[in-house]
Chains A and B, each alone.
Chain A
């Protein structure tokens, strides 16, 4: 997959350099995407939050771990605690910026794992058909028999708290729906004439999978997976909220929301801030995913 993706992604970034002649599929999608104002704005917001999280050491005004008794539960707008202070007097703004590191990792990595594992299983099931399909898809159905957040909570609860355990639990939740999606697209593509033609002309299974199947199923699977990130961030922060994410001194939006619950009487709007970050990110992921899907649609 990497081999085919890398050059096309580079092309997508250089649409102006290769004008007329022909646009690659990805550059067309990219151009359509940036022309949609709302998904584009959402993408910019996500980019800003992600860059702030990556560059938190430079951007954050304060040390996210530095406690100050005098700033405990400080109101929004207090000097050197612009977005207030938390229950230990730490700077909420800095902790929100740092919190993006763990919160976004815990949201995106499980979907990425789900994309590779679920995509692989789904394409395998869809292309092989028969008993292989039966075995894989019935296995996935079992995981479908649990409400998704409940399954993540139970697995993370049994494994114990921690970032890795949380990611494992969430990945197990996202593998089945992505596999199901991949299976249904692959089953359709497998019956297309060009695939049958390739098979009849003696192309190897690997070559058919790589050149014909993957090229045609990658788009829908990616779009579907991207739509799952907004679900993932709510679930991931939910796990942290229950104490199943990283351990307390660390900054994470779900954990902050849970810790600041004791402040809802004295300082309610500071207490609501970490949840607002989760909401904004989830919404932006939703809008971006919608935008990608629309850019990929065949124009009629």
Chain B
């Protein structure tokens, strides 16, 4: 096990380096001189020259990459053009809000997806299976930003039950565990959870069906094991695949949050990224992407380790 963990962690290092390389190149694929993208429009010639030296833009690209990586490693992600504040501060303020939304949506998606998938798998080809299938195929085809708008139309505009946007009352910019803030969390949670829930349910159904077809289940039944003990064996064998998909979906939630957070004006990293794009604030874009993608790399690592822990066969591969 230890060997597997070590190997998997070592494998994540080149991936992480590759990721930093892509994030670094984001500023350089932008049209025009990167310096004009890094500075406000009214910058003087003097400021341009100074920034050019400061960012090391007069040096060759590999050197620039090294300088950028070194400063990013110490937490310096540059200065936002829009707000003039350090990017690291902007991102740190937003990350927590995104994490709250991701945890809430993740819980809903995993629990609901798990139950729906298991029910559909156990009652294969019965009406309940067909209903779940219809539900999940709509779910995976659903544009989540549209679902977000529909939820606002129904629950905020027509019924007036829940607030249409924001993270809390009175221009609140951070989430707190109280009832008014919880009300603001409900609609974004549903919109974020819909697609992952459908994907998890489909995966769970497929693996339950797969496991039920295997001979050991027949054996367990034949030797007279209680149905709920058989169910336990089925779940345990269906779990690793589902866990892997759950992890990936959690990561995709971070990506999907760009759109859902935009619709609900939820002050998280996705909203930050959208406003960075809108204002062509490339340092902010780069910094937010770096943090989000590193988060995703670590998440993938953790998911793989959990998966190998629940399924010993993977460790030997």
User: Shortest distance in angstroms between B173's beta carbon and chain A's nearest beta carbon?
Assistant: 22
Contact between A264 and B149, CB atoms less than 8 A apart: yes
**Contact residues of A between 143 and 177, Cβ < 8 Å to B:** 143, 145-151, 153-155, 157-160
> Does B255 have its Cβ within 8 Å of any Cβ on chain A?
yes
Contact between A272 and B146, CB atoms less than 8 A apart: yes
Contact between A158 and B27, CB atoms less than 8 A apart: yes
Interface string of A114-155 (1 = CB under 8 A from B): 000000000000000000000000110111011111110111
In angstroms, Cα B290 to Cα A146, docked, is 10
Contact between B149 and A261, CB atoms less than 8 A apart: yes
> Does A246 have its Cβ within 8 Å of any Cβ on chain B?
no
Q: Residue among B143, B150, B157, B262 with the most chain A CB within 10 A?
A: B143
In angstroms, Cα B145 to Cα A269, docked, is 15
Q: Using CB atoms, name the residue of chain A closest to B269.
A: A150
Q: How many residues of B contact A (CB 8 A)?
A: 52
- Counting residue pairs across A and B whose Cβ atoms lie within 8 Å, the total is 140
> Does A257 have its Cβ within 8 Å of any Cβ on chain B?
yes
> Does B259 have its Cβ within 8 Å of any Cβ on chain A?
yes
Q: Using CB atoms, name the residue of chain B closest to A165.
A: B31
Interface string of B139-156 (1 = CB under 8 A from A): 011111110011011000
Known: A159-B30, A264-B157, A286-B141. A145 touches B259 (CB 8 A): no
Q: Which residues of B contact A272 (CB under 8 A)?
A: 146, 149-150, 153
Known: A141-B15, A142-B18, A278-B146. A159 touches B259 (CB 8 A): no
Interface string of B117-157 (1 = CB under 8 A from A): 00000000000000000000110111111100110110001
Selecting from A65-73, A186-194, A235-243, the interface stretch reads: A235-243
**Contact residues of B between 150 and 196, Cβ < 8 Å to A:** 150, 152-153, 157-158
Contact between B19 and A242, CB atoms less than 8 A apart: no
User: Shortest distance in angstroms between B312's beta carbon and chain A's nearest beta carbon?
Assistant: 23
**Contact residues of A between 253 and 269, Cβ < 8 Å to B:** 257, 261, 264-265, 268-269
Q: Using CB atoms, name the residue of chain B closest to A282.
A: B141
In angstroms, Cα B144 to Cα A278, docked, is 11
Contact between A242 and B277, CB atoms less than 8 A apart: yes
Q: Using CB atoms, name the residue of chain A closest to B255.
A: A147
Selecting from B44-52, B77-85, B107-115, B293-301, the interface stretch reads: B293-301
Q: Which residues of B contact A151 (CB under 8 A)?
A: 255
In angstroms, Cα B262 to Cα A282, docked, is 22
User: Shortest distance in angstroms between B34's beta carbon and chain A's nearest beta carbon?
Assistant: 10
> Does A244 have its Cβ within 8 Å of any Cβ on chain B?
yes
Known: A230-B141, A283-B138. A150 touches B292 (CB 8 A): yes
Q: Chain A interface residue count: which class?
A: 35 or more
Among B18, B27, B137, B254, the residue within 8 A (CB) of A283 is B137
Q: Which residues of B contact A141 (CB under 8 A)?
A: 15, 18
Contact between B19 and A146, CB atoms less than 8 A apart: yes
> Does B278 have its Cβ within 8 Å of any Cβ on chain A?
yes
> Does A279 have its Cβ within 8 Å of any Cβ on chain B?
yes
User: Shortest distance in angstroms between B120's beta carbon and chain A's nearest beta carbon?
Assistant: 16
Known: A234-B143, A257-B149. A149 touches B259 (CB 8 A): yes
> Does B285 have its Cβ within 8 Å of any Cβ on chain A?
yes
> Does A104 have its Cβ within 8 Å of any Cβ on chain B?
no
Q: Using CB atoms, name the residue of chain A closest to B273.
A: A153
**Contact residues of B between 28 and 45, Cβ < 8 Å to A:** 29-31
Q: Which residues of B contact A178 (CB under 8 A)?
A: none
User: Shortest distance in angstroms between A277's beta carbon and chain B's nearest beta carbon?
Assistant: 10
> Does B245 have its Cβ within 8 Å of any Cβ on chain A?
no
Contact between B293 and A286, CB atoms less than 8 A apart: no
Q: Using CB atoms, name the residue of chain B closest to A150.
A: B255
Known: A146-B19, A147-B256, A265-B157. A154 touches B137 (CB 8 A): no
Contact between A145 and B15, CB atoms less than 8 A apart: yes
> Does A287 have its Cβ within 8 Å of any Cβ on chain B?
yes
> Does B26 have its Cβ within 8 Å of any Cβ on chain A?
yes
> Does B276 have its Cβ within 8 Å of any Cβ on chain A?
yes
Q: Using CB atoms, name the residue of chain B closest to A281.
A: B141
User: Shortest distance in angstroms between A134's beta carbon and chain B's nearest beta carbon?
Assistant: 11
> Does B201 have its Cβ within 8 Å of any Cβ on chain A?
no
In angstroms, Cα B263 to Cα A294, docked, is 37
Q: Which residues of B contact A89 (CB under 8 A)?
A: none
Contact between A148 and B255, CB atoms less than 8 A apart: yes
Known: A147-B251, A265-B157, A285-B141. 4 other contacts (CB 8 A): A145-B293, A150-B255, A234-B141, A279-B143
Could you list 30 A-B pairs, sorted by A, with CB under 8 Å?
Answer: A142-B19, A143-B22, A147-B253, A147-B254, A148-B255, A149-B258, A150-B293, A153-B273, A154-B23, A154-B26, A154-B273, A158-B26, A234-B143, A238-B258, A241-B259, A242-B262, A243-B278, A264-B152, A265-B157, A268-B153, A268-B157, A275-B143, A276-B146, A278-B146, A279-B142, A279-B143, A279-B146, A283-B138, A283-B141, A285-B141
Which 4 A-B residue pairings sit nearest by Cβ, starting from the closest?
A147-B255, A275-B146, A142-B18, A150-B255
